[in-house]
Amino acid sequence: MNPVLDFIINQIFGQGAIFISLIALVGLVLQKKSVSDVIRGTFMTAIGYFVLTQGSSMIQGAVTDVGTAFSAIMNSPAPGESVDIGGQYGTQIGLVMLIGFFINLLVARFTKFKTVFLTGHMLYWFPFVFVAAGVDAGMKGAGLVIFAGIFTAIYMIVAPNLMYPLVKKVTGDDSFSLAHPTTPLSLVAAGVAKLVGDPSKSTEDIKFPKALNFCREVSIICSIVIFLTYLVMAGLLGANADAVLFNGTAPFVYFFNKTMTFGAGVTVLLLGVRMLIAEIVPAFTGFSEKLVPGAIPALDCPTLFPYGPNANVLGFLCSLAGSIVAILIFNPMGIFPGLVVPLAFTCFFEAGTAAIVANAYGGVRGCIIASFINGIVMVLLVGFGGYFFSNTIQNWMLVFGGNDFDLWGIIAGLVAKLFG
C-alpha cells in the first residue's frame, strides 16, 4: 500500500480517539461554534475516549476475579483474556455510529417510520455491542463495519417504533418515543400486566415510605451487590479462597478494594461516555432537525420517570428479587458459560422503565408480577449472552446487560457465526 495512505488509514484512523474527535470537530464546525468552543469540544472528546477506556479496565479489574472464583468453584477452565473492544475498535465504533444514524435519518425522512434515535450513550453503546458480537465471531475489516452498521441501523429504527405505542399509553402524548434497551422488558411488562393486572389501581396512589428513596442510589446498590457476590464466592471457595482470591490480603480489605474500585470504574466510565458524546449528539440532533421534518425524537428512559416514580422503585425492587431468585436457580445448573451476578443497573433503568409501562397497563398487580418476571428474563438474556461475548465484553454485560444489548447481541452473534 502507498505509505501515505497506509499512515492515514492504519495510524490516524486506527486510533479511535482521533477518528471520534474528528467527528466531533466536523459537528462543531457545522454548528458554526466559536473557535474556542471547537477547540475545547474536540479536545474534550479525545480525552473522554481515554477516560472511557480507563473506566472499562477498572470495571474489568474489579469483576474479573468473580469469574476466576466461579470457574474454580465449578471446576471449569478460567475465562481467557478478553479483547478490549472500546480501546481497540474505536474507529470501527465511530464508523458504525455514523452509518447507523444516517440510515435512521434516511428512513425517517422517506418512510412513515419517523423516529430518530437520540439517546446519547446508546448511540455509542449499540455500535460497541454489535462490533463486539462481530469480533467475538471472528469478523474483521470492512465486513465487520458493514455488519455492525446494518445491525445498528435496524436496531435504531425497530426499537423506538416498538416502544412508541407503549410510551403513548403511559404519557397520553404522541410527541416522543424511547431509544433505550428497555424495549424487550417493556414489551414483556405490557403483555403480562394486561393479562394479570387492573389499571385502575395505580402504583401512584400508594403512599411510599420516604426511606425507600435510597433505592434510587443505584451506583451504591450496584457496589453492594458486587461486595455480596465476592462474599458468597469466598464462602463457597472456603479454604481455597486465599489461594484463588486474597493472595494474603485481609479478606475485608480485599472485598473493600474490589467494591470501591468497581464503583470508581462505573463513575469513570460514565464520565468518559459523557465527554465522548457531549459534542457529537448535539450535532446529530441538529442534523435530524434540518433533514427530517416531523421527526419523532426517541429519547432516554428517564423521560418516562415522572409518569410513575412509585412504579419505578417498585419495579426496581421486584425485578431485583426476580433476578436473585433466577440466579440462585440457574447458576448452579451450569447452563450459562459463566457466572451471572444481580443486574442492579438494569433493574433500575430498564426494568424500572418497564414497570412504569406495566403500571399503565395493569396497575400495582401488573407492575409487581411483570417486574418479577423481567428479573428472570434479564438473567436468562445475560446468561445466554455469555456464549456470544465471552471473548469480548461479557464483564461489561454483567454490569449493563440483560436487555437489548444481550437480546440483539445474541441475534447479531448468531448471524455472524452463520455467515461470518
Partner 1 sequence: MDELLIQAVCGFGCGSSLLLRMKIDKVLKEEGITARTFCGDVGTAAATPCDVIFCSEEIAERLMSRAKVPVITVVNFNNPAEVKEKVMGYIQSLEKAD
What is the contact surface with partner 1 in residues (CB under 8 A)?
A: 118-122, 175-176, 180, 213, 216-219, 267, 270-271, 273-274, 277-278, 281-282, 285, 297, 299-303, 305-306, 309, 348-349
End-to-end Cα separation, the chain, in angstroms: 26
* Min CB(207)–partner 1 separation in Å: 16
Q: Which residue has the cell 412508541?
A: 164
Q: Could you tell me what percentage of the chain is helix, strand and coil, using 3-state DSSP and rounding each to the nearest 5?
A: 80, 0, 20
* Min CB(210)–partner 1 separation in Å: 9
* Identity of the residue, 175 or 200, whose beta carbon is nearer to partner 1 in the bound complex: 175
Residue 24 grid cell:
466531533
Sign (positive or negative) of CA dihedral 139, 136, 154, 420: positive
CA 95/CA 400 separation, integer angstroms: 23
Q: What is the DSSP annotation of 2-71? A: -HHHHIIIIIITTSHHHHHHHHHHHHHHHTT--HHHHHHHHHHHHHHHHHHHHHHHHHHHHHHHHHHHHH
* Identity of the residue, 249 or 267, whose beta carbon is nearer to partner 1 in the bound complex: 267
* Identity of the residue, 182 or 229, whose beta carbon is nearer to partner 1 in the bound complex: 182
* Min CB(261)–partner 1 separation in Å: 16
* Identity of the residue, 224 or 278, whose beta carbon is nearer to partner 1 in the bound complex: 278
* Min CB(319)–partner 1 separation in Å: 16
Residue 161 grid cell:
417504533
Q: Which residue has the cell 492504519?
A: 10
Residue 34 grid cell:
466559536
Element holding 177 (H helix, E strand): strand 177-178
Sign (positive or negative) of CA dihedral 116, 122, 123, 128: negative
* Min CB(301)–partner 1 separation in Å: 7
Q: How many CA atoms lie within 13 A of 203 on its CB side?
A: 31
Q: What is the DSSP annotation of 336-381? A: SSS-----HHHHHTHHHHHHHHHHHHHHHHHHHHHHHHHHHHHHHH
* Identity of the residue, 136 or 279, whose beta carbon is nearer to partner 1 in the bound complex: 279
* Min CB(303)–partner 1 separation in Å: 6
* Identity of the residue, 182 or 331, whose beta carbon is nearer to partner 1 in the bound complex: 182
Residue 418 grid cell:
452463520
Helices 280-291 and 251-277: crossing angle, nearest 10°?
40
* Identity of the residue, 49 or 348, whose beta carbon is nearer to partner 1 in the bound complex: 348
* Min CB(336)–partner 1 separation in Å: 27
* Identity of the residue, 84 or 300, whose beta carbon is nearer to partner 1 in the bound complex: 300
Residue 123 grid cell:
448511540
* Min CB(125)–partner 1 separation in Å: 9
* Min CB(208)–partner 1 separation in Å: 12
* Identity of the residue, 90 or 413, whose beta carbon is nearer to partner 1 in the bound complex: 90
